Amino acid sequence: MGSVDRIAGSLGSESSEQRGQTATMVQPMTTRHRLSTEAARLFAERGYHGTSMGDLAEALGIRKASIYSHIEGKEDLLAEIALAGASAFHLALDEMPDDVEPLERLRLALRAHLNVVDRQLDVAMVWLHEWRYLADPARERFVGERRRYERRIRDLFEAAIRNGDLRAELDVKRAVLVFLSVANWGYTWMIPGTDAAREADAFWPLLLGGIGSR
Protein backbone atom coordinates (compact mmCIF):
# COMPACT_ATOMS: atom_id res chain seq x y z
CA MET A 1 0.00 0.00 0.00
CA GLY A 2 1.06 3.64 -0.41
CA SER A 3 1.85 5.81 2.58
CA VAL A 4 -1.62 7.36 2.69
CA ASP A 5 -3.35 3.99 2.38
CA ARG A 6 -1.07 2.56 5.04
CA ILE A 7 -1.90 5.19 7.63
CA ALA A 8 -5.59 5.16 6.68
CA GLY A 9 -5.67 1.47 7.37
CA SER A 10 -3.77 1.77 10.62
CA LEU A 11 -5.62 4.76 12.03
CA GLY A 12 -9.06 4.35 10.55
CA SER A 13 -10.48 1.06 11.72
CA GLU A 14 -10.13 0.86 15.50
CA SER A 15 -9.75 2.97 18.60
CA SER A 16 -6.19 3.80 19.70
CA GLU A 17 -6.43 1.24 22.52
CA GLN A 18 -7.78 -1.43 20.18
CA ARG A 19 -5.10 -0.65 17.60
CA GLY A 20 -2.40 -1.17 20.18
CA GLN A 21 -3.92 -4.45 21.35
CA THR A 22 -4.38 -5.73 17.79
CA ALA A 23 -0.85 -4.77 16.79
CA THR A 24 0.52 -6.51 19.86
CA MET A 25 -1.37 -9.72 19.13
CA VAL A 26 -0.50 -9.78 15.43
CA GLN A 27 2.95 -8.21 15.19
CA PRO A 28 4.92 -5.35 16.74
CA MET A 29 4.16 -1.92 15.36
CA THR A 30 6.88 -0.70 13.02
CA THR A 31 8.72 2.50 13.82
CA ARG A 32 7.07 4.12 10.78
CA HIS A 33 3.64 3.08 12.00
CA ARG A 34 4.37 4.35 15.51
CA LEU A 35 5.65 7.63 14.07
CA SER A 36 2.40 8.21 12.18
CA THR A 37 0.30 7.37 15.22
CA GLU A 38 2.28 9.59 17.58
CA ALA A 39 2.29 12.44 15.06
CA ALA A 40 -1.51 12.35 14.87
CA ARG A 41 -1.73 12.46 18.66
CA LEU A 42 0.77 15.28 19.08
CA PHE A 43 -0.62 17.36 16.21
CA ALA A 44 -4.05 17.07 17.85
CA GLU A 45 -2.76 17.97 21.32
CA ARG A 46 -0.21 20.67 20.49
CA GLY A 47 -0.95 21.68 16.94
CA TYR A 48 1.25 21.13 13.91
CA HIS A 49 3.52 24.08 14.60
CA GLY A 50 3.61 23.27 18.29
CA THR A 51 5.07 19.83 17.59
CA SER A 52 8.77 19.52 16.80
CA MET A 53 10.76 16.68 15.36
CA GLY A 54 12.33 16.41 18.80
CA ASP A 55 8.88 15.89 20.31
CA LEU A 56 8.21 13.07 17.87
CA ALA A 57 11.55 11.47 18.64
CA GLU A 58 10.91 11.69 22.38
CA ALA A 59 7.46 10.14 21.99
CA LEU A 60 9.01 7.17 20.20
CA GLY A 61 12.03 6.95 22.48
CA ILE A 62 14.51 7.32 19.64
CA ARG A 63 17.11 9.86 18.61
CA LYS A 64 15.93 12.83 16.59
CA ALA A 65 18.37 12.01 13.78
CA SER A 66 16.82 8.54 13.46
CA ILE A 67 13.46 9.99 12.40
CA TYR A 68 14.95 11.19 9.12
CA SER A 69 15.55 7.61 8.05
CA HIS A 70 11.74 7.26 7.94
CA ILE A 71 10.51 10.66 6.71
CA GLU A 72 11.97 13.82 5.19
CA GLY A 73 10.13 16.08 7.62
CA LYS A 74 6.98 16.45 9.66
CA GLU A 75 5.25 17.92 6.59
CA ASP A 76 5.15 14.37 5.23
CA LEU A 77 3.31 13.20 8.33
CA LEU A 78 0.79 16.03 8.20
CA ALA A 79 -0.02 15.23 4.57
CA GLU A 80 -0.40 11.52 5.30
CA ILE A 81 -2.64 12.07 8.30
CA ALA A 82 -4.88 14.65 6.64
CA LEU A 83 -5.28 12.65 3.44
CA ALA A 84 -5.85 9.44 5.39
CA GLY A 85 -8.65 11.16 7.29
CA ALA A 86 -10.26 12.28 4.04
CA SER A 87 -9.97 8.74 2.66
CA ALA A 88 -11.60 7.27 5.76
CA PHE A 89 -14.65 9.52 5.43
CA HIS A 90 -15.09 8.63 1.77
CA LEU A 91 -14.68 4.94 2.51
CA ALA A 92 -17.39 5.16 5.17
CA LEU A 93 -19.83 6.48 2.54
CA ASP A 94 -18.72 3.85 0.04
CA GLU A 95 -19.58 1.10 2.51
CA MET A 96 -23.18 2.23 3.06
CA PRO A 97 -25.84 -0.11 1.61
CA ASP A 98 -27.33 0.86 -1.74
CA ASP A 99 -30.70 -0.81 -1.25
CA VAL A 100 -32.19 1.74 1.17
CA GLU A 101 -34.31 4.84 0.68
CA PRO A 102 -32.50 8.18 0.18
CA LEU A 103 -33.49 9.59 3.58
CA GLU A 104 -32.23 6.43 5.28
CA ARG A 105 -28.94 6.76 3.41
CA LEU A 106 -28.64 10.28 4.77
CA ARG A 107 -29.19 9.01 8.32
CA LEU A 108 -26.63 6.27 7.77
CA ALA A 109 -24.19 8.86 6.43
CA LEU A 110 -24.40 10.73 9.73
CA ARG A 111 -23.75 7.48 11.57
CA ALA A 112 -20.84 6.67 9.30
CA HIS A 113 -19.25 10.09 9.75
CA LEU A 114 -19.49 10.05 13.54
CA ASN A 115 -18.16 6.52 13.56
CA VAL A 116 -15.04 7.65 11.67
CA VAL A 117 -14.57 10.52 14.11
CA ASP A 118 -14.98 8.14 17.04
CA ARG A 119 -12.43 5.68 15.65
CA GLN A 120 -9.78 8.31 15.05
CA LEU A 121 -10.34 11.38 17.21
CA ASP A 122 -6.79 12.59 16.69
CA VAL A 123 -7.05 12.43 12.91
CA ALA A 124 -10.40 14.23 13.00
CA MET A 125 -8.74 17.12 14.81
CA VAL A 126 -6.03 17.33 12.17
CA TRP A 127 -8.59 16.96 9.37
CA LEU A 128 -10.56 19.92 10.70
CA HIS A 129 -7.80 22.30 11.77
CA GLU A 130 -4.19 21.49 11.05
CA TRP A 131 -4.76 20.76 7.35
CA ARG A 132 -4.41 24.49 6.68
CA TYR A 133 -0.65 24.11 7.07
CA LEU A 134 -0.41 21.68 4.18
CA ALA A 135 1.66 22.73 1.19
CA ASP A 136 0.85 21.91 -2.41
CA PRO A 137 0.36 19.42 -3.92
CA ALA A 138 -0.95 17.76 -0.73
CA ARG A 139 -3.05 20.81 0.15
CA GLU A 140 -4.69 20.91 -3.28
CA ARG A 141 -5.46 17.21 -3.10
CA PHE A 142 -6.87 17.47 0.41
CA VAL A 143 -9.11 20.43 -0.43
CA GLY A 144 -10.34 18.56 -3.50
CA GLU A 145 -11.23 15.50 -1.43
CA ARG A 146 -12.94 17.63 1.19
CA ARG A 147 -15.06 19.36 -1.43
CA ARG A 148 -15.88 16.03 -3.05
CA TYR A 149 -17.10 14.74 0.30
CA GLU A 150 -19.30 17.80 0.77
CA ARG A 151 -20.74 17.22 -2.71
CA ARG A 152 -21.53 13.62 -1.81
CA ILE A 153 -23.47 14.74 1.26
CA ARG A 154 -25.27 17.35 -0.82
CA ASP A 155 -26.17 14.66 -3.36
CA LEU A 156 -27.76 12.62 -0.55
CA PHE A 157 -29.92 15.58 0.44
CA GLU A 158 -30.94 16.22 -3.16
CA ALA A 159 -31.83 12.56 -3.67
CA ALA A 160 -34.05 12.67 -0.57
CA ILE A 161 -35.77 15.78 -1.94
CA ARG A 162 -36.40 14.13 -5.31
CA ASN A 163 -37.83 11.11 -3.51
CA GLY A 164 -40.26 13.30 -1.61
CA ASP A 165 -38.64 12.59 1.76
CA LEU A 166 -37.64 16.22 2.31
CA ARG A 167 -39.47 19.37 1.30
CA ALA A 168 -38.73 20.69 -2.16
CA GLU A 169 -37.88 24.20 -0.93
CA LEU A 170 -35.23 22.99 1.51
CA ASP A 171 -32.14 25.20 1.59
CA VAL A 172 -29.75 22.40 0.67
CA LYS A 173 -26.61 24.49 1.06
CA ARG A 174 -27.38 25.35 4.66
CA ALA A 175 -28.77 21.90 5.41
CA VAL A 176 -25.41 20.43 4.39
CA LEU A 177 -23.63 22.93 6.64
CA VAL A 178 -25.81 21.91 9.61
CA PHE A 179 -25.21 18.22 8.88
CA LEU A 180 -21.45 18.67 8.67
CA SER A 181 -21.36 20.88 11.74
CA VAL A 182 -22.95 18.14 13.82
CA ALA A 183 -20.76 15.47 12.23
CA ASN A 184 -17.41 17.23 12.19
CA TRP A 185 -17.48 18.68 15.66
CA GLY A 186 -18.13 15.35 17.27
CA TYR A 187 -14.46 15.21 18.22
CA THR A 188 -15.04 18.02 20.76
CA TRP A 189 -17.49 16.00 22.86
CA MET A 190 -16.90 12.36 21.97
CA ILE A 191 -14.81 10.29 24.37
CA PRO A 192 -13.49 6.72 24.20
CA GLY A 193 -16.47 4.41 24.54
CA THR A 194 -18.98 6.80 22.97
CA ASP A 195 -21.67 4.92 21.05
CA ALA A 196 -21.40 6.78 17.75
CA ALA A 197 -24.47 5.13 16.23
CA ARG A 198 -26.60 5.97 19.25
CA GLU A 199 -25.44 9.59 19.21
CA ALA A 200 -26.13 9.89 15.48
CA ASP A 201 -29.65 8.54 15.97
CA ALA A 202 -30.23 11.01 18.80
CA PHE A 203 -29.19 13.93 16.60
CA TRP A 204 -31.19 12.73 13.60
CA PRO A 205 -34.70 13.83 14.72
CA LEU A 206 -33.24 17.21 15.70
CA LEU A 207 -31.83 17.63 12.21
CA LEU A 208 -35.11 16.61 10.60
CA GLY A 209 -37.56 18.42 12.83
CA GLY A 210 -35.55 21.22 14.35
CA ILE A 211 -35.84 22.27 18.00
CA GLY A 212 -38.79 24.66 17.80
CA SER A 213 -42.05 24.03 19.60
CA ARG A 214 -45.08 22.86 17.64
Q: Write the CATH number for 121.
A: 1.10.357.10
Examine residue 214 and state whether it is found in any structural domain, yes or no: no
If one counts the domains in the chain, the total is: 2
Cα(25)–Cα(43) distance, integer angstroms = 27
Torsion of CA 15, 126, 109, 14, to 10 degrees: -10
Taking only the tens place, the pLDDT of each residue in 111-126 is 999 998 888 777 777 8
Same-domain check for residues 115 and 43 = no
Containing structural domain, residue 182: 81-209
Task: Specify whether the backbone of 193 is left (phi greater than 0), alpha (psi in -120 to 50) or beta.
Answer: left
> What local confidence, expressed as pLDDT, does residue 28 receive?
58
Q: Write the CATH number for 37.
A: 1.10.10.60
Average pLDDT by stretches of 10, the chain with 214 residues: 38 42 51 85 88 88 84 87 90 92 94 89 79 91 94 96 93 93 85 86 87 58
Same-domain check for residues 27 and 129 = no
Which of 34, 58, 74 finishes a domain? Answer: 74
Torsion of CA 160, 162, 164, 165, to 10 degrees: 0
> What local confidence, expressed as pLDDT, does residue 90 receive?
94
User: By the 8 A CB rule, do 34 and 71 touch?
Assistant: no
> What local confidence, expressed as pLDDT, does residue 213 receive?
52
Taking only the tens place, the pLDDT of each residue in 177-196 is 999 988 888 888 888 778 88
Examine residue 133 and state whether it is found in any structural domain, yes or no: yes
> What local confidence, expressed as pLDDT, does residue 72 receive?
81
- Say how many C-beta atoms besides its own lie within 10 A of residue 151's C-beta: 11
User: Residue 117: in which H helix or E strand, if any?
Assistant: helix 102-119
